[in-house]
Structure 1
Amino acid sequence: MAEIKTLAATVRSGTGKGAARSVRREGKIPGVIYGGGEAAQPITLSYRDLHKLIYAGHFLTTIFEIDIDGRKERAIPRDYQLDVVRDTPLHVDFLRLKAGSRLKVNVPVRFLNQEIAPGIKRGGSINIVLHTIELLVPADNIPEYIPADLTGLDFNDSLHISAIKLPEGVTPVDRTDFTIATISPPPGGAEAAAAEAAATAAAAAAPPKGKAAPAKK
């Protein structure tokens, strides 16, 4: 489950571009919390806190307990804007999370056991088709990542979504058996890798220099 983090905010009285610019001049970031059957709530956030959270990664899959002047709202970021020149935060939108609700989230894929995949051990490489997967998840059980196990994959093998055990209540938005990653042979193809493996095996079996091979009986 995704980690729940705390975030302090204050109520923002004004709305519109002029009010947002005024907030930024004070060194803070305007935002809004919407959804959940309630009215949208404009808020003001710490620039330093928000900048740190965005660039720490996984911002859009992190659940926040937002303390708004002593009143707490559980929410998840749905979008944020950055300055096109300086890459600094300009605005953030949060979606309220209510118990029992479900939402669409892009969850990152974490590839496991690459070092023991036969195709990679023999010189191949992983071709990542999807770095994230769009999932329909319970609001109170958002996965931090999806584990993609590469154990047993050889040249030209593919890892499909059907091979991944998803957490309870989590389903892909795309209902097809889509590909997440493939294993590509090394330059020269599988034949080159096989020839190299055969040469290595032959070298290992050869007698040491200066010693004759044992006579056959």
Structure 2
Amino acid sequence: MAVSLKANVRTDSKRSTLNKLRSGGRIPGIVYGKGKENTSVSVDNLTLIKTLRDEGKNVIISLDIEGDSKVDVMLHDYQIEALRGDVYHVDFYAVDMSSEIDVNVPVHLEGEAQGVKDGGILSQPLYELAGKAKPTEIPESITVDISKLEVGDSVTVADLPKISNFEITEDEATTIANVLPPTTEEVVEPGETQDGSVEPELVDGEDSNNQE
């Protein structure tokens, strides 16, 4: 089910106007997609952020555009202001609810790996999984059970079970998570170098091997 969000139409793209919108709590954006004319809009900052936090970034939004009909969209891209970390601009993509689209779905690890209990270090190289699905069939997240991973074990995309109505397009060889061996630092005794040889003693600040 789509989440409703109101949008105002923008007719002025001057920097001063956009900055005024942002200071007033609105985010400038654009709506585009197949069969949809590009439309410049603005949406309420807090409402959008709350929607994405509660529903996830792949949520279907029924965008109620001022003076226009509602359109089903997804958040395709957004820009972050570097200094304060605020959302600076958003791109909404009008979706065809009957056609598959390319998406990235968050990957969540579940359980505590046995290898971590034994002293290993858990690594997660992949946090989002690429795939295809119709907008209403996109999974909110992919859960991967890592409880049986021993030190040196890994789980790859190829190990995932098939997900109903979701086609995984990520390379099957991609590692999702693995357990690395514990790191140990070799202790070097005083007067001994890293390769085990003994350093020459210094006599009055000079190398004793060079004394005549």
What TM-score, normalized to structure 2?
0.73
Query: What letter corresponds to residue 158 of structure 1 in structure 2?
Result: S
After superposition, the CA RMSD in angstroms is 2.6
The alignment covers a number of residue pairs equal to 183
**Contact 1:9/1:44 (8 A) holds in 2:** yes
Query: What letter corresponds to residue 179 of structure 1 in structure 2?
Result: T
Residue 71, structure 1, aligned to residue 83, structure 2: no
Q: Return the offset for 1:4.
A: 4.2
- Within 5 Å, give how 1:66-105 maps onto structure 2: 66-69=63-66, 71-105=69-103
Pick the aligned partner of 1:167 from 123, 138, 163.
Answer: 163
Pick the aligned partner of 2:107 from 85, 106, 109.
Answer: 109
Pick the aligned partner of 2:124 from 128, 132, 135.
Answer: 128
Q: Return the offset for 1:26.
A: 4.4
User: Following the alignment from structure 1 to structure 2, what is the Cα–Cα distance between the partners of residues 59 and 122?
Assistant: 35
Q: Residue 141 of structure 2 aligns with which residue? A: 145
Q: Return the offset for 1:158.
A: 1.0
Pick the aligned partner of 1:60 from 57, 61, 82.
Answer: 57
**Contact 2:32/2:92 (8 A) holds in 1:** yes
Q: Return the offset for 1:89.
A: 2.1
What TM-score, normalized to structure 1?
0.72
Query: What letter corresponds to residue 137 of structure 1 in structure 2?
Result: A
Q: Residue 182 of structure 1 aligns with which residue? A: 178
Q: Residue 27 of structure 2 aligns with which residue? A: 29
User: Following the alignment from structure 1 to structure 2, what is the Cα–Cα distance between the partners of residues 126 and 99?
Assistant: 38
User: Following the alignment from structure 2 to structure 1, what is the Cα–Cα distance between the partners of residues 49 and 165?
Assistant: 32
**Greater helix content:** 1
Q: Residue 193 of structure 1 aligns with which residue? A: none
Distance 1:154 1:123, change over 3 A: same
Query: What letter corresponds to residue 140 of structure 1 in structure 2?
Result: T
Q: Return the offset for 1:90.
A: 2.0
Task: Select between 31-40 and 20-29 the one with higher mean Cα deviation.
Answer: 20-29
Q: Residue 212 of structure 1 aligns with which residue? A: none
**Contact 1:146/1:166 (8 A) holds in 2:** no
Q: Return the offset for 1:72.
A: 2.1
Q: Residue 198 of structure 2 aligns with which residue? A: none
Query: What letter corresponds to residue 123 of structure 1 in structure 2?
Result: G
In percent, how many aligned pairs have the same letter?
28
